[in-house]
Structure 1
Amino acid sequence: MTTSTVTATLRLGTRGSELARTQSQAVADAITAATGAPVELVPIVTEGDRSPAAIAQLGGTGVFVAAIRRALLEGTVDLAVHSYKDLPTAAEPGLTIAAVPRREDPRDALVARDGLTLGELPPGSKVGTGAPRRVAQLRALGLGLDVVPIRGNVDTRMGRVRGVGEPGDLDAVVLARAGLTRLGRLGAITETLDPLQVLPAPAQGALAVECRTGDARTRELIGRLEDASARACVAAERSTLAALEAGCSAPVAAYAEVAEGEHGPELFLRASVTAIDGSDAVRGSVSGPLADAAALGRALADELLDRGAAELMAVRS
């Protein structure tokens, strides 16, 4: 691709965590490589960063993005990079997702003491995670694990595992493999969890690059990072989440993949809703053209609702 002569610096708003800065820098570097436009990172502190409370107590979806979106709308920054799963499903007036870059592996990963896999952890083992979806699915496996809620960045969480961060108070933690990949921590993984066991969160592993709707120049520059398959998968997964009227604090999982079908590329979507105590779950799947991604997600959500998903989301631990 021909490098443009654009030289005005783009201001990229980002959270201050190591993972957020790493993700944002990767996007900044990609924009510069594709367009020639320099990009500077602008750290922004969000409500989710300030509070030690659980995400669900803070109001769930949006606590990590509201301050950044406010800065975008006010013109303090020109673009932002979000972990797509952190975004509310409703569109933000005045802003647009100008690109969904190539997605990292969306599966969950286990970091456990002594190199153990999930099935090798003895009953009663303490496993930490910050996601109700993971809590519900881990409990549903019936392994007798003591699943406990945790907060903190990737290294803080891994540091609580005995033998990884001495002395440690946990036997294992479950994290997004994508974050470990971006931080260069793949060596800490003792098992990448099969989606048949633990289905990922909607949009896990995907990034959303956002800017003001009316900023045509920035939209064009960002748009060069677009990955059509990643966009379609995320659209399907998030439309399932939206149709279930659930957010990131709900025990909803969805995972879409693109595979070659009889008439070209086809999207295959799986989703589940699991009671937080692990007592029951509903699962389903659907497939169809990439162009129908959002409709496929809604159709699958309707099926899950018909089979009792709303009642399962209402179960309390």
Structure 2
Amino acid sequence: MTAERALRLGTRRSKLAMSQSGHVAEAVRQLTGREVELVEITTYGDTSREHLAQIGGTGVFVTALRDALERGEVDFAVHSLKDLPTAQPEGLVLAALPVREDPRDVLIARDGLKFTELPAGARVGTGSPRRMAQLNAYARSHGMRIETVPIRGNIDTRVGYVEKGELDAVVLAAAGLNRIGRSAEVTDFLSTDIVLPAPGQGALAVECTATNGELAAALGELDDPFTRAAVTAERSLLAALEAGCSAPVGALADLLADGQIAKEMRLRGVVGTTDGSELVQLTTTGPVPSSQDEALALGRELAAEMLAKGAAGLMGERAL
């Protein structure tokens, strides 16, 4: 009997992408008993030196992986969910959204400083208009004086700005640092009351072609229903705002529990100008979604309230 060929997993080449794809590959090996080989793919977002807001952000880390899927060069792909456009292409399915990592943003600062301990005039690097908007808004309202500096690059490059003394601090996603074993370098985990994460931050998406039903079913064993409900609500809000993944939009869905029993889902959303001078931040709660449609409705409901409060005028860059 001939052994089944190895499954081909498409992944970006970055250290973080390879690490998170490696974790998924091992889980798939355990599930299916088949070998999984990583196929490294370079995306436009990896090669462009422009800031994400300038190149549109939406799909720049994703398109090449999806093209490889559709051409049959790989069997499935792993994405950081926050990089995915909200519109799902025909022919591809998100077969699994595994248990989400920590969705928060974190600070890596010189001298072990926390965000509220940064000195006046501190230079804080981030590639995200969303982070800039919320950090600057918090600083304004609490009498802090910081300068947010746009940066790009991988984790090593960004942390290097602090190590070389070019910046006082950088802001990164906790999930990425956790996945590559560098969370010990964090000097402050930023409360979601200060900075709401990007919609879907901390979650991975495992994608395959819709025609490969057997593989989709196998990958579906990795799916976490709460993660899927939460990120569906967050991404529904993003879609209803007609914003791309480089827009200054934050969202987080979490469970409100009574003892051990989850009673409601809370969805928080924020949109702001990058200088922090204007911010629309609202919250809604509803029953824990029992279907995709209910999660989508929760996101659309909050987006409608935010648009009524003037959110559209604050977003600047729209999805390309």
TM-score normalized with structure 1 length:
0.94
1:307 Cα deviation after fit: 0.5
Structure 1 residues 6-17: aligned runs within 5 Å? 7-17=4-14
Go from structure 1 to structure 2 and tell me whether the alpha carbon gap of 1:270 and 1:92 turns closer, same or farther (over 3 Å shift): same
Q: Are 2:78 and 2:204, in contact at CA under 8 Å, matched by a contact in 1?
A: yes
**SS of alignment partner, residue 224 of structure 1:** helix
Asked whether the equivalents of residues 265 and 290 of structure 1 are also in contact (C-alpha less than 8 Å), the reply is no
Label 1:111 to 1:229 Cα distance change in 2 as closer, same or farther (>3 A).
Answer: same
Q: Which moved more, 1:68-77 or 1:136-145?
A: 136-145
Deviations 1:67-107 (A, max 9, x none): 01000000000100000000000111110100000000100
Match of 1:277 in 2: 275
Contact kept? 2:266, 2:285, Cα under 8 Å: yes
1:293 corresponding residue in structure 2: 295
Candidates 108, 117, 129, aligned match of 1:111: 108
Q: How far is 1:314 from its partner?
A: 3.3
CA contact (8 A) 1:240 1:301 kept: yes
Check whether the contact 2:231–2:253 (CA below 8 A) recurs between aligned residues.
Answer: yes
User: What is the alpha-carbon distance in structure 2 between the residues aligned to residue 7 and residue 296 of structure 1?
Assistant: 43
Q: Distance in 2 between matches of 1:202 and 1:264?
A: 21
1:160 partner letter: Y
Alignment of 1:47-196 (within 5 A): 47-141=44-138, 142=140, 143-161=144-162, 165=163, 167-196=164-193
- Among residues 228, 232, 235, which one is paired with 1:231 in the alignment? 228
Provide the rounded CA distance (Å) in 2 between the counterparts of 1:226 and 1:265: 21
Which residue type is aligned with residue 151 of structure 1? R
Aligned residues of 2:58 and 2:245 also touching (Cα < 8 A): yes
Residue 217 (structure 2) aligns with: 220
Amino acid at match of 2:309: R
CA distance in 2, matches of 1:259, 1:221: 31
Task: For 2:3 and 2:216, locate their aligned partners in 1 and report how far apart those are by CA, in whole Å.
Answer: 13
Q: Secondary structure at the match of 1:110?
A: strand
Q: Find the counterpart in structure 2 of residue 39 from structure 1.
A: 36
Q: 1:81 to 1:6 in 2, by over 3 A?
A: farther
Q: Who is 1:20 aligned against? A: 17
Counterpart in 1 of 2:310? 308
RMSD in angstroms over aligned alpha carbons?
A: 1.6
- Give the Cα–Cα distance (whole angstroms) in 2 for the partners of residues 91 and 51 of structure 1: 24
SS of aligned partner of 1:187:
helix
Corresponding residue SS for 1:260: strand
Q: Report how far residue 35 of structure 1 moved.
A: 2.0
The 3-state SS of whatever aligns with 2:222 is coil
SS at match of 1:268: strand
1:7 to partner: Cα distance: 3.8
Which whole-Å CA distance do the structure 2 matches of 1:18 and 1:264 have between them? Answer: 36
Question: In 1, distance between residues paired with 2:165 and 2:97?
Answer: 37
Contact 2:247 2:316 in 1 (8 A): no
Residue segments in structure 1 that go unaligned for 5+ positions in a row: none
Q: In the alignment, residue 130 of structure 2 is paired with which amino acid?
A: R
Contact persistence 1:7–1:36 (CA under 8 A):
no
> Match for 1:301: what amino acid?
A
Q: What is the percent sequence identity of the aligned residues?
A: 56
| Distance in 2, Cα, partners of 1:145 & 1:24 | 36
How many correspondences in the alignment?
307
Q: Contact conserved, 1:267 with 1:293, CA < 8 A, in 2?
A: no
| SS across alignment from 1:82 | strand
- Which structure 2 segments of 5+ residues have no match? none
* SS in structure 1 at match of 2:223: coil
After TM superposition, give the deviation of residue 261 of structure 1 in Å.
5.3
Cα offset for 1:293?
1.1
Q: CA deviation at 1:115?
A: 0.3
For the residue of structure 2 that corresponds to 1:160, the secondary structure is: helix
Deviation per CA, 1:193-217: give whole Å up to 9, x if none: 0011111110000000000011112
Report deviation, 1:159: 1.0
SS in 2 for 1:159: helix
CA distance in 1, matches of 2:129, 2:210: 33
> What is the TM-score when the length of structure 2 is the normalising length?
0.93
